[in-house]
Amino acid sequence: MPEPETVSVKIPRDLAARLEGRIAATAFRNLDEFVAYALARLAEGDPKDGEALSPEDERRVKEHLRALGYLD
């Protein structure tokens, strides 16, 4: 199966460094793979698709993103 076409996303260098440190002991091979995974999970409940995240799922996603340094 061919890899999907990609685009670049810019994030602050210090955030990238913090995330790389957090994913070092995970199954993610690199920061790109992790960011794609996190954003895909977030996009799964896109309200435009008619399937919004439940309040509990939204809370869990925000908690996870906050722990990873994406949210303050």
What per-residue confidence (pLDDT) applies to 46? Answer: 55
Please give the residue range of the domain that contains residue 22: 13-67
* 24 within domain boundaries: yes
pTM: 0.57
Q: Is residue 5 part of a domain?
A: no
The reply to whether 8 falls in a domain is no
Residue 26 belongs to some domain of the structure: yes
pLDDT of residue 17: 94
6 is a domain residue = no
pLDDT given for residue 63 in this prediction = 84
How many domains, in total, are found in the chain?
A: 1
58, part of any domain:
yes
The answer as to whether 1 is a domain residue is no
* Per-residue pLDDT tens digits for 13-72: 999 999 999 898 889 999 999 998 888 888 776 556 556 677 888 888 888 888 888 777
Q: Is residue 4 part of a domain?
A: no
CB 32 within 8 A of CB 40: no
Q: How far does Cα 12 stand from its chain's mean position?
A: 15
